Amino acid sequence: MVGFLKSAALATLTSVLMATAAHADVTVYTAGPKGLIDKLSAGFTEKTGVKVNVFQATTGKVMARIEAEAANPSVDVVISASWDTAQDFAERDWLLSYTSPNAENVPAMLKTDMAVAQGVSALGIVWNTKSGTPKPNDWADLAKPEFKGLVNIPDPAQSGSSFELSAALGEKDDFALFTQLQQNGAIIAGANAEALNPVLQGAKAAVFGAVDYIALGNKAKGESIEVIFPASGTVVAPRPAMIMNWSKNQEEAKQFIDYMLSDEGQKMVAATYLMPARSDIAAERPLMSDLKLLDYNSAEVYGKRKEILSQVGSIFGTN
């Protein structure tokens, strides 16, 4: 009888341990559309039984939370809106090396041994077609008198994609265009949504450096806006997904990356008007091959992040 009880107790303990392992959570910190991470989380949980704990915010707030938790980190997967996050984390030796089998059709420029794009956004001008202003065709048009006091700029300190554009354009003309914009009444107006909302409402005429997928989604809902990719060129902002090397749920984190890059996951990405990371997934929006891209040294500007943010902040008085 004692032996039977011991065996029963051992079987119960084993079942509990197996159940715990089977239902380990994975924690994801992400910038970008909340609707996307909610759908990815729900689909992943349905496929695997693994619950996803999500913190979704701007890139700046995500990075601040990771820094604040440095002594006791809990995040397993980070999805940023700027590729410089992946470079920064790799230099700090924070990342786990992993190549998903579903990354085969992800172009080489969108993956490394330790990061892979979830999707890609591009930066453009979002113009309210009922604003009474002329349709802009290039970045410099928003510094013209017709747009005086009518332009918002997403804060590059909060938006990873806005930083990409600020860095590229700043390298091109030593921030002369930003000075002209400021003199014409353009303002830094918070993160991407805060910069866009006054344009949707008609209080402002345009966003300089808007994340395209947010605006394309609003346009699809009937908003009177147009997304314009400037003739002189723009930048794209791959959204790196990374597994942190301190993760206690590495297998679940790998499974999440696999699901994100699966047919199902990438179709969810495309449905938000982001470019899918995989080249074999269709999207109803312009892709990188359709855009003229600015030529700039991304590695060099990433290394000057603090300096670039300081320059932009000095011009617009946000330091």
pLDDT tens per residue across span 272-284: 999 999 999 999 9
Closest CA to 149 of 113, 198, 187: 187
Q: Indicate if 121-236+291-316 has the same CATH topology as 23-119+237-282.
A: yes
Say if pTM beats, i.e. exceeds, 0.85.
Answer: no
Spatial separation of the C-alpha atoms in residues 88 and 64, rounded to whole Å: 14
Per-residue confidence (pLDDT) for residue 161, from 0 to 100: 84
Could you read off the pLDDT of 114-130 as tens digits, one per residue?
999 999 999 999 999 99
> Is 5 a residue whose pLDDT tops 60?
no
Query: What mean pLDDT comes out for the span 210-226?
Result: 95
Per-residue confidence (pLDDT) for residue 274, from 0 to 100: 96
Lowest mean pLDDT among 16-30, 33-47, 136-150, 302-316: 16-30
Percent of the chain scoring above 70 in pLDDT: 93
Domain segments of the chain as ranges: 23-119+237-282, 121-236+291-316
Tokens standing for residue 58: 């701007």
Q: What is the mean pLDDT of the chain?
A: 91
CA 82 → CA 3, 89, 167, 305, 314, distances in Å? 60, 12, 12, 12, 22
Residue 98 annotated in ligand binding: no
pLDDT: is 303 or 285 the higher one? Answer: 285
Q: What is the DSSP string of 5-21?
A: HHHHHHHHHHHHHHHHH
Spatial separation of the C-alpha atoms in residues 58 and 222, rounded to whole Å: 25
The C-alpha angle with vertex 73 and arms to 192 and 241, in degrees rounded to 5, equals 45
Q: Say if domain 23-119+237-282 classifies as CATH 3.30.420.40.
A: no
Q: Say if domain 121-236+291-316 classifies as CATH 3.40.190.10.
A: yes
Per-residue confidence (pLDDT) for residue 23, from 0 to 100: 59
